[in-house]
Chain A
Amino acid sequence: MITINDIQSKTLTDLFEKYPFLPGFFEEHTLELNGNLDIKLVNYLDFLDEEEEQENRAMDKSQVLGSMCTYIDQMLAFLGEDEDDGVHSITLLPGTNKSGEAEQFGELTIKKSEIVCIVGPTGSGKSRLLADIEWVAQGDTPTSRSVLINGEAGDSKWRLNSGNKLVAQLSQNMNFVMDLTVYEFIELHAQSRLVEDIESVINKIFAQANDLAGEKFELSTPITSLSGGQSRALMIADTAILSKSPIVLIDEIENAGIDRKRALDLLVGEEKIVLMATHDPILALMGDKRIVIKNGGIHKVIETSDEEQNLLSDLERMDSVVQKMRNRLRQGEIIKKEDIGF
């Protein structure tokens, strides 16, 4: 634990060298850094001793110093995590449905790079299941389910640590709202994740996103003018590569402007656990298993059979027929009976 005494008599130059992420803290606290940095932290903050300045800036010295210590501790912990500390699997242990009846499964373990689909009508309890996972339920949520991480009772750090969320979410309603170009957007995200080689991460995400998107876009394209498919492609590539969350929840991926198969391959390739709420037969069959939810509880868990797997190629053929027709329409062509092809 860093204490105020550890930092207050060091100079800003020394502190920034030791903690390269610290200037971000000054920036967010609107503490200007354009003067002499060879000044001791405690002296730099002297201006806050003046009551008027303290009231104008709405901050006091001890609060700023205390926050700074907490921040340094958090960031050091964040940087110190290595792959081995990561999540290799999650296990769901049954609870009850809305009527208090026991859920119909023994134990469900989902490993890295597995895709599990979640099916069930609206309001059946899909969100609750996800919330149980995110909260690492210990029999203490309305469903009484328990969630194990790597086979053990979950660490409560997942509950309250904002930089370390267990679940990243991608849904149909999501939009970009920032006024930034694709480049600036990925850069900002990478900075917040304390990435060292930002440039190569930007290039990697950009290349992957363009690979998934039907229509290409540039690094200089404003994110708010990307099409639906392009946005989804960028969100998926960015989540796969930059988000630290080991689990990705996808709420449907619309079948337009994005290669869904490759999108899933990318997530799986980045060793994510993929949970996907979908009723699209192609996506559902791409999953290794699917969880059926009824009346607030898990009704059953179905493994995708070989027979279903075989159907997938037929479904993909049907899908490509529709896709081709869509492209022909876009090009201003006429659609003919032969296009259907069967």
Chain B
Amino acid sequence: MNLVTVSGPPSSGKTAVILKTIDSVQKRGLKVGVVKFDCLYTDDDILYEKAGVKVKKGLSGSLCPDHYFVSNIEEVTQWGLKEGLDLLITESAGLCNRCSPYIKTVTAVCVIDNLSGINTPKKIGPMLKTADIVIITKGDIVSQAEREVFASRVNTVNPGATIMHVNGLTGQGAYELSTLLYDDKVEVKTLVGEKLRFSMPSALCSYCLGETRIGESYQMGNVRKIDLGDKK
């Protein structure tokens, strides 16, 4: 089984890109499954089911979605193997732009869109900088120049990545992407012992533990204060 992790900011077009790409993968006779990670709610699983794809969803609820992802990725991999999948795709939203659920030996895809603004590439951390493939969406509604500038900014922060344009509505570019996602020489059996590409943000403070009151006397653990420039 091949495994691919896809992540990207909310509404960047991850699901649309994956659905169009799966279409091309299925035409090659491969069995595909998707696990969708989200925080509070998702009904993307219905879209995947409609497309004839084996799907599971995981909602992290009160936990950080990417921490939840890492805690479950091995179980998810075993599910994919049990289902006899050729290709398992995980989809997760990079909610804070800092996390990335990428694993060193697993193909990592980041989806971002042209509408998010040209300063977005520098705001996104390892999710963009350590991806193997960066997919840029919504190119059909901005000018050629803006597409070029955006792609060049992405290239500057992650020069090693393959950058592709995919149209999530028409599927233009999805076939091409599908050729990069499956390699019959790759065989994932377990992820135990594998490592993340970058550590996730750490936080363990009173608010993690359910505190709701505001004020310094309620704050314990890993707390950091904003620098407003008035320090003596």
Contacts and interface: CB of A to CB of B under 8 A. Distances in A.
A237 to B, nearest CB: 10
A25 B156 CA distance: 6
A248 to B, nearest CB: 8
Contacts of B72: none
B149 A238 contact: no
Contacts, number: 125
Interface string B53-77: 0000000000000000000000000
The 3 closest A-B pairs by CB, nearest first: A162-B163, A58-B125, A70-B159
Contacts of A140: 179
Interface of B: 24, 27, 98, 114-115, 117-118, 121-122, 125-126, 129-130, 139-149, 151-160, 162-164, 170, 172-173, 175-176, 179, 198-199, 201-202
Q: Place the interface of chain A in its size category.
A: 35 or more
Interface stretch (A173-181, A301-309, A325-333): A173-181
Contact of A239 (B98, B139, B145, B160): B145
A222 to B, nearest CB: 14
B143 A162 contact: no
A24 B156 contact: yes
B59 to A, nearest CB: 25
A136 to B, nearest CB: 10
Interface in A173-206: 173-178, 185-186, 188-189, 192-193
B155 A163 contact: yes
Contacts of A193: 148, 152
A175 B138 CA distance: 11
Given A142-B27, A162-B151, A127 B170 contact: yes
Given A55-B199, A141-B175, A188-B149, A239 B156 contact: no
B175 A131 contact: yes
A70 B160 contact: yes
Contacts of A173: 140-141
A79 interface: no
B152 A174 contact: no
Interface string A233-245: 0010011001100
A29 B179 CA distance: 30
Contacts of A192: 148-149, 152-153
Contacts of B160: 66-67, 70
Contacts of B175: 131, 135, 141-142
Given A24-B156, A28-B122, 11 more contacts: A29-B156, A55-B199, A58-B126, A59-B129, A74-B159, A127-B170, A160-B162, A162-B155, A169-B139, A169-B140, A174-B141
Contacts of B148: 165, 168, 189, 192-193, 243
* Interface of A (DSSP majority class): helix
Contacts of B149: 188-189, 192
Contact of A175 (B142, B154, B173): B142
A235 B145 contact: yes
B202 A174 contact: no
B129 A163 contact: no
Contact of B142 (A71, A177, A189): A177
A5 interface: no
A220 interface: no
A30 interface: yes
B148, B151, B163, B175 — most chain A CB neighbours (10 Å): B148
A170 interface: yes
Contacts of A310: none
A63 interface: yes
Contacts of B199: 55
A124 interface: no
A144 interface: no
24 contacts: A28-B121, A28-B122, A29-B156, A58-B98, A58-B129, A60-B198, A63-B129, A63-B130, A71-B155, A71-B156, A127-B172, A131-B173, A141-B176, A142-B175, A162-B164, A173-B140, A174-B142, A176-B146, A177-B114, A177-B142, A177-B146, A178-B117, A192-B148, A192-B152
B143 A175 contact: yes
Nearest to B174: A131
Given A175-B141, A177-B142, A162 B152 contact: yes
A178 B146 contact: yes
Q: Which of A25, A30, A174 has the most CB of B within 10 A?
A: A174
Nearest to A130: B172
Given A63-B130, A71-B156, A135 B176 contact: yes
B155 A243 contact: no
B129 A243 contact: no
Nearest to B27: A142
